Amino acid sequence: MLRHSDSRLPAAVKHRYHGILSQRVPELTLPTPNEEAASPEAADEAYEAASKWLLEQTRDPTRFRLLFAENINYGFRRNLLAAKPFGVVADVLAVLLIIGLAIMQSEGDLVTLASQADFWSLGGAAIAALHLLWLTVVVTPNWVRMTAERYAEQLLAACDVL
């Protein structure tokens, strides 16, 4: 977000953050737009150094409550995305197992299956199916990226209070 070519922050805000970081971080010189375009790798090293400095300055969860909360949100979503394949497999197995057991108990007769349907079993299958739907539709890399960007915005906003 500190890159001149990145448009997620207003130019004036980004310029202010560049100024604050250039003054506060020892031995840091942030690149101009031309320098960034000429050497993106060197620019990224400078931005990474600024980010690491900011991270160290904002470790206090009491003083930086909103940043801390955004970090928790990001971590939760990132970890959930990583665990998604296990959840999908567990949900599919649960639905298949519950339906399979219900069919076995009814001996394949749909009328018997409908009349003997256990509310709790069907409820469990429905919950697993809804959870599967939520995992596949909601839990995506973009869902995680949104919170990562909010966290990055709050981290940079700490420039104004440091």
Confidence of residue 60 (pLDDT cuts 50, 70, 90): very high
Q: Is the dihedral of CA 86, 92, 95, 101 positive or negative?
A: negative
Per the model's pLDDT, the better-predicted residue between 107 and 139 turns out to be 139
Q: Tell me the DSSP string of 43-71.
A: HHHHHHHHHHHHHHHT--TTTTHHHHHHH
Q: In the predicted model, is pLDDT for residue 113 greater than 80? A: no
**For 25-140, where are the alpha helices, taking DSSP H only?**
33-38, 40-57, 65-106, 110-116, 119-137
Confidence of residue 140 (pLDDT cuts 50, 70, 90): very high
Q: What is the pLDDT of residue 116?
A: 59
- Measured CA to CA, the distance from residue 160 to residue 76 in angstroms comes to 27
Question: Angle 73-74-76 (CA atoms, 0-180°, nearest 5)?
Answer: 65
Confidence of residue 101 (pLDDT cuts 50, 70, 90): confident
